[in-house]
Amino acid sequence: MGEDAFKLHTPNVCTVCTIPCMQNSPTTAQKGTESVQNTGPLYHCVCGHEYPVDPQEGGQCPSCLRRISGAAIQNAINATVSITDLDRTDEFHHFDIDPKDDLANKIFGHFRLDRRLGGGGMGVVYRALDMSLQRYVAVKVMQNRNVGSDTRLDATLREAVAQARLNHPNVVTIYYVGREEEEPFLAMELLPGPTLSERLKSEGAIPYAEAINYAVQVASALKHAAFFDIIHADIKPANLIMAGDGRIKLSDFGLSRIQSGTETDTPIAGTPAYVAPELFRGEGFSPQSDMYALGVTLFELIFGRIPFELKGGTVRQRLETHLTAAIDFPSSWPANVPHEFRALIERLLAKSPQDRYRDYDALLADLREITPVSTTPAGYAPRAMAYVIDQSYLLAAISPFAIAIFSIHEYASANSLNLKLFIPIIAFASLIVPSLYLMAIFRGWRSLGRYLFQLRIVEEHGLAPRREQLVPREVLRNAFAWFFPLSSYVSLQSELLAEGITFFLVLFIVINSMTLFMYKGRRALHDLLCHSQVALAVNRE
């Protein structure tokens, strides 16, 4: 039995999430007795008439003459548009749908069931027309004859009430719960999909930046649920549905628990690959058990597999894997995944809930720290201006020391005085300028030039660079400000040595500049050496 559909010691709760209705075969749009064969998107107007539209240009209702723009079509694709020809556009996700269903066209409350989207556990999900608001929704009908009606209704209500009280952009919205001929059902928003589980099966591992963005959204949704004393208890890719524009929504609260009312003897519930080890030890559900499942999910999204192999022929044996198995990280760390990700996963998958994050605020803070920011390379002009400004104020700060050294040297030479002892002392004192500058950089400050021109230093994955990267980078970047004064000081003692320092300084600046213009991504030599990049500054969400 597939693990995505396996539940332990629980009522048979539907494991299917809201997914969109897409089909390959043509459909028939009817108004009265007319029947028109359509091969494109059909827009369901507020007057109840359905007519074909262009996804880019929109259209006009032939019945009430109400116009709809292409932009509105794209924004409302989930609720108002039926797709009959998926070959026309890549913007709609396809699902195989069983055309034969005995509930099609039946009325549940004020919802007319249209087509079956999927099923599992004790429920079947349909696309349905909300006849009161003239829009499409997803309706879950509970249909398990082995369980009494009251039990089914209780399970439905638990999921509906848990979700309906959550007003969050990353939680599937519940519209209605009711019963039709002893069959409990609930209506929820219809999403374009697919689920992340389906994406993993069709495309494999998800890019790091995208997966981390999803993790932030899920953690935010779970934080919101925690405000209402709710633990989801079944976090996994199959319950995370894509909602367009890089957004996902958390669904299926059928196994949710009340945090303050959780008892240690509560039966284990969930999917074996994602069940936290403390649940098997009888310690009860907590936000940390959801964090564990999120850790397994995030590992799976990025590496395309769960973090350990579930071994054993029984459910108990497979669950025991969580108690002892070490995280199976890739032997060769992928170049596209920052090493900071490893520490986050190790904390999320700690065997003891006390070793995980204390709350979702702490988890979100760490997730955002390893969330890539914009890596759009900064232009040549702002980088050049920022460089000139930084060199100018550094040289201006060093110039008093240089003036003092040359003044003492000239005065001593003119008056035959031996004041050479003061020169190295002042030169040593001048080191306070680079020391203060590098200390500010080490503490995470931006240089004045980068601040004025809104530039940010990022490492190769788009993260904030480590401090050990920033300091040597700034030493190399500001080589002129450091070594030109040094060359001047040395020239007082040895012209040949000063010329050598000047030669290598000029050579480095030339190579550094050439690399900036020649290398892809506008990376100068000091960026290549320190694995960094100058990007346009953006605020972290």
- Decide: residue 531, CB within 10 A, 0-12 exposed, 13-18 middle, 19+ buried: middle
Show the tokens assigned to 23: 């089909």
Q: Comparing C-alpha atoms, which of 422, 397, 427 is closest to residue 411? A: 422
| Alpha carbon distances (Å) from 81 to 21, 58, 194, 335, 397 | 9, 11, 17, 41, 65
Q: Quick one: 123 and 27 in the same domain? A: yes
Residue 279 has pLDDT above 90, yes or no: no
How large is the average pLDDT for residues 117-140?
A: 83
Q: Which of 47-61, 144-158, 225-239, 254-268 is predicted most confidently?
A: 225-239
225-239, 285-299, 468-482, 486-500: lowest mean pLDDT where?
A: 486-500
Q: What is the pLDDT of residue 143?
A: 65
Q: Quick one: 141 and 80 in the same domain? A: yes
Q: Comparing C-alpha atoms, which of 68, 5, 6, 89 is closest to residue 319? A: 6
Q: Quick one: 457 and 516 in the same domain? A: yes
Residue 5: inside a domain, yes or no? Answer: no
Q: Quick one: 385 and 241 in the same domain? A: no
74-78, 348-352, 464-468: lowest mean pLDDT where?
A: 74-78
CA 187/CA 133 separation, integer angstroms: 13
Domain count, the chain: 3
Q: Quick one: 23 and 94 in the same domain? A: yes
Provide the CATH number for the domain around residue 222. Answer: 1.10.510.10
Q: Quick one: 31 and 83 in the same domain? A: yes
Q: Quick one: 494 and 430 in the same domain? A: yes
CA 110/CA 176 separation, integer angstroms: 10
How large is the average pLDDT for residues 70-79?
A: 60
Helix H segments across 54-207?
A: 70-75, 77-80, 149-164, 196-203
Residue 236 has pLDDT above 90, yes or no: yes
Q: Quick one: 265 and 399 in the same domain? A: no
- How much of the chain, in percent, has pLDDT values that exceed 70? 78
Label residue 396 by pLDDT band (50, 70, 90): very high
Residue 8: inside a domain, yes or no? Answer: no
Range of the domain at 501: 380-536
Residue 194 has pLDDT above 70, yes or no: yes
**Residues labelled as active-site residues:** 234
CA 80/CA 93 separation, integer angstroms: 15
Q: Quick one: 150 and 221 in the same domain? A: no
Domain end call among 140, 172, 188: 188
Residue 64 has pLDDT above 90, yes or no: no
Q: Comparing C-alpha atoms, which of 88, 44, 84, 81 is closest to residue 64? A: 44
Q: Quick one: 442 and 517 in the same domain? A: yes
| Alpha carbon distances (Å) from 199 to 194, 203, 205 | 7, 6, 8
Q: Quick one: 179 and 99 in the same domain? A: yes
Label residue 261 by pLDDT band (50, 70, 90): low
CA 398 to chain centroid, in Å, comes to: 45
**For 490-515, what is each residue's pLDDT tens digit?**
887 788 888 888 899 899 999 988 99
Mean pLDDT of the chain: 79
Residue 1: inside a domain, yes or no? Answer: no
Q: How many helices (H) and strands (E) does the chain have?
A: 18, 19
Domain end call among 188, 221, 252: 188
Provide the CATH number for the domain around residue 134. Answer: 3.30.200.20
Residue 532: inside a domain, yes or no? Answer: yes
Residue 6: inside a domain, yes or no? Answer: no
CA 398/CA 433 separation, integer angstroms: 7
Residue 135: inside a domain, yes or no? Answer: yes
Residue 4 has pLDDT above 80, yes or no: no
CA 412/CA 208 separation, integer angstroms: 64
Residue 538 has pLDDT above 70, yes or no: no
Residue 296: inside a domain, yes or no? Answer: yes
Q: What is the pLDDT of residue 33?
A: 33
How large is the average pLDDT for residues 71-98?
A: 46
**For 165-189, what is each residue's pLDDT tens digit?**
788 999 999 898 888 877 788 899 9
Q: Comparing C-alpha atoms, which of 256, 259, 267, 346 is closest to residue 299? A: 346
Q: Quick one: 341 and 213 in the same domain? A: yes
Show the tokens assigned to 319: 């669950």
Residue 3: inside a domain, yes or no? Answer: no
Domain end call among 188, 223, 240: 188
Cβ pair 100, 86 in contact under 8 A: no
